[in-house]
Structure 1
Amino acid sequence: MTFKLPEFTPPDFNQSFLKNAPNCTTIEVIKDGVAPKNFHAMSIYPEYFKVDGKWLLPAQSRMDCVPVVKNNTIIEIIEFRNLHVGDKVVVGRTEDASEGIYMYTKGFKSENKINDTFAFRTGRSRETAFSKDYDQLYERLKHDRDNGHIVWVLGPAVIFDHDTRNALSSLVENGYVHALMAGNAMATHDLEGGYLGTALGQDIYTQASQPNGHYNHLELINEVRRSGSIENFISEGKVKDGVIKKCVEKNIPIVLAGSIRDDGPLPPVYGNAYEAQDAMRAQTRKATTVICLATTLHTIATGNMTPSYTIVDNKIRPVYIYNVDIAEFAVNKLGDRGSLEVTTIVTNVQDFMVHLKNNLI
């Protein structure tokens, strides 16, 4: 299979309803962090705004944030908490161009359009055949390794298995990981595996519980905190292998968002949720493919801040999001939160990772 990015077809702005549409209306912010009444909130889809007679598309977008007109030439998408007095926020709740706001959902042609009114197995579940999804993912990752930004969002299940952990480490080594986002647990147990050969006290290969193994992750966290940073701890030669070690060696950004239940935590874990969100947002702004594995809350957070498109080399291209989990509930949850442009695969992450490694390396 030869991978080719789908062409983006922009709207025909000569259509009368677009040509004759009014300019969008803006109202200035009068209190930091507070949008004006009737503010417009973004979706995941490309949205155009008419300013001085020209339709402008934001270069970067984010669902549930507000569009701000800058110098009448660009549209920036801003989180409510980052609004400042004087920002010109677009107001209006329609998306049909009647208020100078146009949401456009037909830029990329669907490869799987179904014309039948009734058809079997159009949903995605444990009965779905995912062979085509895997084949497409292999080709997209090969393309984006050198032409995009591949972001991985990981739960700790990814490193509880010897083969899975090695598979992901190999993908890091071979350039298929450009950023890693997770919580304290994933990084802790991966480093525990490289330091003590266990994950949450169980042998990383046999899963046999070790004597006093419940201390192991705490010992690991304590030692990393003693060293001052993950990088220092690794440089001391105390970590034999693992995903985090590979990322550090390759200078790959690692964003660890904290939780109310964290042990320790590791030194780089963000305790402030909004700082964590900003750090995650820095990676999703650049993302071309996002792969979320066995972590429902991190997946929803990432999916909600990742638009359906991005602009690379002045070309509009889709952002591909994959959500992989053994539970149908987990993969369907992201769609329930507004991120419709996502491919879901119902399987355990161990099989998923080994498939990827075997077909990419």
Structure 2
Amino acid sequence: MTVSRVVELEGHIIDSGMMGAAFGIVMDMGGSFEVDEFEIGRSKTEGSYARLTVFADTEDDLQPIVHELHGIGANPADPRDATLAPAPADRVVPKGFYSTTNHPTDVRYEGEWLPVERVEMDCAIVVDPEAEGGPRAYTKVLNAVEAGDLVVTAEAGVRVRPPERPRGDGSPFGFMQGGVSAERPSESTIAKIAESIREVKEEGGTVLAVCGPALIHSGAREALARLVREGYVDMLSAGNGFAVHDLEHDLYGTSLGMDTETLDHPRKGHKHHIYTISEIIRVGSIREAVESGLVESGVMYECVRNDVPFVLAGSIRDDGPLPDTITDAIEAQNAIREQAHEADMVLLLSTLLHSVAVGNCLPSTTRVVCVDINPATVTQLLDRGSAQAVGMVTDIGTFVPILAEHVIYGGRE
């Protein structure tokens, strides 16, 4: 005797590989399937539809298969209302709670589909039946769950909608244009990324730059500062080190004691890092350092002068840290999460840890650019689930200045 479940796949399920992925999941997990209905889109923009019956020996065998299928957008053909259970305590979810993907998601409540707000991966979905304006569904991270929250359990009544990926998209974010390559024509890819940044800005969107200290070390400081000054970077996320090295360059002309132009190490240059932190603490904050005239250039300077909000998330290895650095991990996560949900495009620039932190908060519909000299870093970040991502393995000191030229001048002086 076997048990079965009927699921549906809709959209560009062939171009995006969704259908093949569904077949692979069923077979790899010991199940079987029958294709009950299959309608193929006849143009680049027309979607396809498939209806599958999935079989397994027992309900316990079937459930994990259905769970994996659900994560790629194969939804039950006979949707029911979602099952809700109250959280038994603060920061405790009911057993069997539904853990979100980063794809657009809907929850069925009293026969109506509610769009899940603030989608990100690995969260609980809370339904508020008494919200102003009608029932709402939204994500909550574990540390924000409160006793009594109505949390969605299991996959019933949950619909996942992976972003469409039709053929013919000429942007770097189009189907099969993402991925990692050190051999892809860099100039043309950077030009397309620059075009996407301009499109986002023209449409009133926001660009978030997530930056590592290597950007300062490699000589890209002035180019990024220019992008901030010209209005192409709306938010900045970084660590204590990035800000310290940027400020050090203004105060002493070095980054971690090294002259980034001559590559020389000035006498006593190793002290510049600590001197910089001390001077910023002395005046009170980065903003006060800029407004007092102590700091007169750089990325942090342009952020202050152009009211570009920044989040500096601390770590256990930080020197100082700067007064603006958030040292409470939960507070830092929440600040990063606010930026991530506001961003329409994110530039992950040579920083693994901060990029992972931001990437975990992003819905799959957000455009992501990841640049690092290490191929493993780019692969790890792009594998975190974004459907619109492009990765480049290149020197960040080369990438950012070329990008700035293309964004501001279209590649021409």
Class of the TM-score when normalised by the shorter of the 2 chains: 0.7 to 0.9
Once the two structures are superposed, residues 269-289 of structure 1 have per-residue CA deviations (whole angstroms, 9 ceiling, x without a partner) of 111111101001111111100
CA distance in 2, matches of 1:174, 1:282: 23
SS in 2 for 1:199: coil
SS in 2 for 1:50: strand
- Report deviation, 1:234: 1.6
- Report deviation, 1:30: 1.5
User: Of residues 331, 342, 345 in structure 2, which corresponds to 1:289?
Assistant: 345
SS in 2 for 1:214: helix
CA distance in 2, matches of 1:63, 1:150: 21
Q: Is the 8 A contact 2:382 2:391 kept in 1?
A: no
> Residue in 1 aligned with 2:217?
160
CA distance in 1, matches of 2:76, 2:399: 45
Once the two structures are superposed, residues 297-345 of structure 1 have per-residue CA deviations (whole angstroms, 9 ceiling, x without a partner) of 1111111111113xxxxxxxxx101110011011011134444542111
Matched, 1:40 2:98: yes
Ranges in structure 1 where 5+ consecutive residues have no aligned partner: 1-7, 115-120, 310-318
**Amino acid aligned to 1:65:** C
- Report deviation, 1:209: 0.4
Change (3 A) 1:222 1:113: closer
TM-score under structure 1 length normalisation? 0.86
**Amino acid aligned to 1:348:** D
Once the two structures are superposed, residues 44-73 of structure 1 have per-residue CA deviations (whole angstroms, 9 ceiling, x without a partner) of 111221111111222321111111111262
Q: Is the 8 A contact 1:158 1:350 kept in 2?
A: yes
> Residue in 2 aligned with 1:253?
309
Once the two structures are superposed, residues 99-146 of structure 1 have per-residue CA deviations (whole angstroms, 9 ceiling, x without a partner) of 1112122545353557xxxxxx99522223344532321121112224
**Amino acid aligned to 2:369:** Y
User: Of residues 82, 85, 97 in structure 2, which corresponds to 1:24?
Assistant: 82
- Report deviation, 1:357: 1.3
CA distance in 1, matches of 2:387, 2:77: 29
> Residue in 1 aligned with 2:371?
324
Q: Is the 8 A contact 1:304 1:339 kept in 2?
A: no
SS in 2 for 1:238: coil
User: Of residues 263, 278, 293 in structure 1, which corresponds to 2:319?
Assistant: 263
> Residue in 1 aligned with 2:63?
none
Q: Is the 8 A contact 1:190 1:243 kept in 2?
A: yes
- RMSD of the TM alignment (CA)? 2.3
CA distance in 2, matches of 1:108, 1:128: 21
The structure whose RCO (Cα within 8 Å, separation 6+) is larger is 1
Task: Name the larger-Rg structure.
Answer: 2
Matched, 1:105 2:162: yes
CA distance in 2, matches of 1:198, 1:166: 13
Matched, 1:358 2:405: yes
CA distance in 2, matches of 1:298, 1:350: 18
Q: Which segment drifts farther, 66-75 or 168-177? A: 66-75
CA distance in 1, matches of 2:329, 2:392: 28
Alignment of 1:47-126 (within 5 A): 47-71=105-129, 73-92=135-154, 94=155, 99-110=156-167, 111=169, 112-113=174-175, 124-126=180-182
- Report deviation, 1:19: 7.5
- Report deviation, 1:74: 1.5
- Report deviation, 1:354: 1.1
> Residue in 1 aligned with 2:391?
344
**Amino acid aligned to 1:306:** L
Matched, 1:205 2:252: no
SS in 1 for 2:113: strand
Matched, 1:272 2:328: yes
Change (3 A) 1:345 1:167: same
**Amino acid aligned to 1:257:** A
Ranges in structure 2 where 5+ consecutive residues have no aligned partner: 1-44, 50-74, 409-413
SS in 2 for 1:187: helix
Matched, 1:134 2:181: no
Q: How many residues align?
A: 329
> Residue in 2 aligned with 1:148?
205
CA distance in 2, matches of 1:263, 1:26: 46
Q: Is the 8 A contact 2:178 2:388 kept in 1?
A: no
Identity of aligned residues (%): 35
- Report deviation, 1:160: 1.8
